[in-house]
Every structure is written in structure tokens, then in C-alpha cells.
Amino acid sequence: MYEDLRDQVVLITGSSRGIGAAMAVAFAEVGARVVLHGRDEVALDGVRRRVERAGASALVVTGDVTRSAALAAMRDRINAEVGPVDVLITSAGSSKSRPTPIEEIDEEDWRADVERNLTSTFLTVKCFLPDMKSRGSGVVLTLSSAAGRRASARTLVAYGAAKAGVQIFTQDLAAQVGPAGIRANCIAPETILTETNEKWIQGDQRQMLIDMHPVRRLGTVDDVARAALFLASAESGWISGVVLDIAGGATLV
């Protein structure tokens, strides 16, 4: 399955751990040429070994995705070493904030969440889009979150707002670049049991989160990776501008 992804150059930002790392291994398993990205070189080396065990080789690039100069340097290196990016997945992002009443949200924390989730997505797409346009092909997948899909009194407001911005940004992108042969879709996961979440979400809190999902479990990194493969492949060739909830139904209730 996904024969069309064989030898495609797939850049996954934020693939030193978590969802990004799982996507990298999944693309390696179908024969893609994976480009790993992050800032933690030790973690990246561990993912590179997993990709190699899956039978592929990986180029590793580093850099801060909130900085356009760092992105341009990454792009030039990728173009020189493996060729232009066919599939761009903007998975780098996170929040360090906590649920806070809006009047108490620190301005710097707000700006940081917008910067590392929304601005980083814009800058990354801006950097890689011209090459896709000039080749008349490409796929972009962005990462939103269930936090950007519906309101909650206990949400991380800045993170949710930034992730909601990622959705409309991706849809505007899809509308602009469809005629140039490029598809763009957005993935919106609910709580995924990454290594970090496995450690922090335990006991009663885990059960409370499970109970919020009509499909009575939390998500896995492989749930997201399988959706990414589908949205990157020609199997989804008529799908563009979609926000796909990977949420066990949680955003319905």
C-alpha cells in the first residue's frame, strides 16, 4: 500500500520525538526518503536509528522553525542532499502554558504559543512552497489540535487559538495552491499518548480523559501516523482543505 510514496522526499518538522517521530518511521516503512527535523540532536539520532531499522536512510536537519533564516538553511541543505520536498508535514509545535483565566494570561506566554504553533507553520510553508509551485506538485500536512476545534473553559486558550489559526491558514493555502497541483490538509488530534503524555497523564486524570472520548481510549502516535500516510498519498488525491479530527469522537461531545 502507498506505493506512490516510495522515494518521495518527506520532511517532518518536529520529528525528534512524539507524533513527528512516529510519522517519520511510518513514512520510512513505505519507502519514502525521510528528512528528520528538531533541535535535540541526541533525540534525533535515536529516531534516525529507528528509521534505519525500518529499512530507510534519513537526512537530519536542525533549526528553530520560528526563524525564517534557519528554515531557509534547512531547505537549501535538503535540496542539495536529497532533492526538493514532495511532502511537507509541519508537526513542530507545543504549548508550555496551563489553563488560565484570560485576564491572567501572560502576554509573553501568549506570543510564544502563537509563535511556535501558528507563525512557525506559516514560515515553514512559506519557505517550501515556491519549490512545490515551480514543480507543479506537492502535499502539505499541518498539525492543529482538538484544542483548536471547540471551546472549553479549561482549554489552553493561546494554544487553542493558534491551532485554530493553523486550520484556516491550511484551508486558505489549499484554496490558493490547488490550481498549482498542491494539496493541503490539516490534522487535529485530541490527547495522544506520546512518550511525554504517557509519563504525565496517569491514574484518575487518564481515566477522566478516556471517559471524554466516545471511542473509549486515548490516541496513539500510530493513529496519527496512519492518517498522515493516507493524506500524503494519492489515495487521498481528491481531498484538500480538510481538517481531520483524530480524536476518538471527542470533539463531537
Distance CA 41, CA 243 (A): 31
Shortest distance in whole angstroms from residue 18 CB to ligand NAP:
2
Is 204 exposed, middle or buried (CB count within 10 Å of its CB: 0-12, 13-18, 19+)? exposed
Q: Does 14 bind ligand NAP (CB under 6 A)?
A: yes
Q: Among all residues, which ones are annotated catalytic?
A: 159
- What are the angstrom distances between the C-alpha of 70 and each of 24, 61, 63, 140? 21, 10, 5, 19
For ligand NAP, the closer CB: 170 or 194: 194
Return the C-alpha cell found at 224: 496519527
Among 2, 24, 32, 91, binds ligand NAP (CB under 6 A): 91
Among 9, 10, 19, 127, binds ligand NAP (CB under 6 A): 19
Q: Does 192 bind ligand NAP (CB under 6 A)?
A: yes
The site string for ligand NAP over 93-112 (x = CB under 6 A, - otherwise) reads xx------------------
Q: Does 116 bind ligand NAP (CB under 6 A)?
A: yes
Question: Beta-carbon neighbour count of residue 237 at 10 Å?
Answer: 10
Of 198, 204, 205, give the one whose Cα is nearest residue 221. 198
Return the C-alpha cell found at 126: 512559506
Q: Does 248 bind ligand NAP (CB under 6 A)?
A: no
Cβ neighbors of 41 (< 8 A, separation 6 or more) are 60, 62
Q: Does 142 bind ligand NAP (CB under 6 A)?
A: no
Shortest distance in whole angstroms from residue 209 CB to ligand NAP:
10
Shortest distance in whole angstroms from residue 151 CB to ligand NAP:
16
- What are the angstrom distances between the C-alpha of 235 and each of 5, 31, 66, 138, 239? 10, 16, 32, 14, 9
Q: Does 66 bind ligand NAP (CB under 6 A)?
A: yes
For ligand NAP, the closer CB: 39 or 50: 39
Among 2, 10, 12, 20, binds ligand NAP (CB under 6 A): 20
What residues make contact with ligand NAP under the rule CB under 6 A? 14-20, 38-40, 43, 64-66, 91-94, 116, 120, 143, 145, 189, 191-192, 194, 196-197
